[in-house]
Structure 1
Amino acid sequence: MKFQRSTLILVGVAFLLGAGVLIAESQRSQLGSLTGDSTSTAPIFTFEETDVASLTVDRGNETLVFERDGDGNWQMTAPETALAEPGAVAFLLSRLNTDSPLQTVTMTADQATDFGFNAPVGIVTVTLNDGTEHELILGGPDFSGNANYAIIDPEPWPPAAETDYSVLVVSRDVANGINRPRAEWLMPVETPEAGAGQGDAATPGDGETSETPVDLDAAPASPPEPVTPETDADTTN
């Protein structure tokens, strides 16, 4: 009788665990139609950084625009004009053309809000030298919180009814690259140190006297003429 009771307890625990797994999988299925999930070793995009002519990062509250000049240097053209920090641009582009999606899931149009695409973290638009444009829309975080959902080159957008979308699960680094503070997108401006560029001339300090240099080759000054004592004309011997 004691053995049967223990068995029933074990069966009950196993049932609860199985039910929990089924509920979790059901929720994942409803959110991402996970029956078609897949992983890929290919990068998000296949372009090279040198193929990129301009980069636009729409972060909702502001839009950053970068263009490559004739010398290959990145310039910010909006919301201000300044020399861009090349490392910041290269980091984001590297996440797009080097990192592979962690997973691919399927989303129906009515699930866009569940994936965070109603208020995306950012929209990145890359324009290549040949005029081709690629777009990445970064949605909300996934279940782990260490990655985000993303859609690339969606057609149409906003989501159209009865349309399925292939959604990528991408590294959190993509969000970090988009959310970088604006100051970090700009090349630091060096300010000259105080007193720099004023020559090597010394300025007399406290306790010092300024002496006028003596010209040793100059002719000596004439000695003053002697003063002859005046005589009193009215004095007689």
Structure 2
Amino acid sequence: MKSILNIAAYLFVSLDNLEELRAKMLEQCNTRHLKGTILLTGEGINMFLAGGTDELRGFLDWLRIDPRFQPLEAKESWSEDQPFKKMLIKLKNEIIRMNHPAIRPEEGRAKFISPKKLQEWLDRGTDDLGRPVVMVDTRNAFEVDYGTFEHALHFNIEKFTEFPAAISAHKEELVDKTLVSFCTGGIRCEKSGLYMREIGMEHSYQLEGGILKYFEEVGSAHYKGSCFVFDEREALDPDLSITPVERTVRRKAKAEQS
């Protein structure tokens, strides 16, 4: 029986007094015997946590007492064992580093598309206006090796700060396409979607909730492989179960040979 609840959540919101907030959150997590990682920044919060169901949901309820965190939504999955070894809360400058200070998701999101609507587009091959749909993978190369959407465009980048230059170099060839950027849980696309709009890619969207939300609502349709996650589970299959170790090892070996 899978008794450990795993959540991934983020929220772009202005935060201050980070040291004080960190101390309060760490106390709450330790009291509830939760483990995982929380990133606190001036632009918001990002977290991957695991623990007992009541304890973890209780922590989220406690967090949402603060009006700043009321909109926080969490993606859930389950595991038999605790995938984290310790509880860490880190203070950072950005939730996800992009080196473009003008891109501020808190001030307004890029257009997004739901997983089920995306499936409709991919089934048909076009958006509702008949424009060809191109999936844009914003993740790093090693993550793409685990799995990605069929025929997705990716740039073999090693870190997210390389994405702006990579997508800009393909701007002209994509001008007549509808673009849907995606990542693991949606957080990178909050910035990539805004950047793509900023450089004039007006027919661009972000996948709401990322790959994990797509797995939850749609499953494996139009997706090949698994999805790398940032904990000791390593990768999840489209049914949100842990990818078998032997399959992960084979995929790694194949990637190293290519």
TM-score range, shorter chain: under 0.3
Q: Specify which structure has the higher proportion of helix.
A: 2
**Highest Rg: 1 or 2?**
1
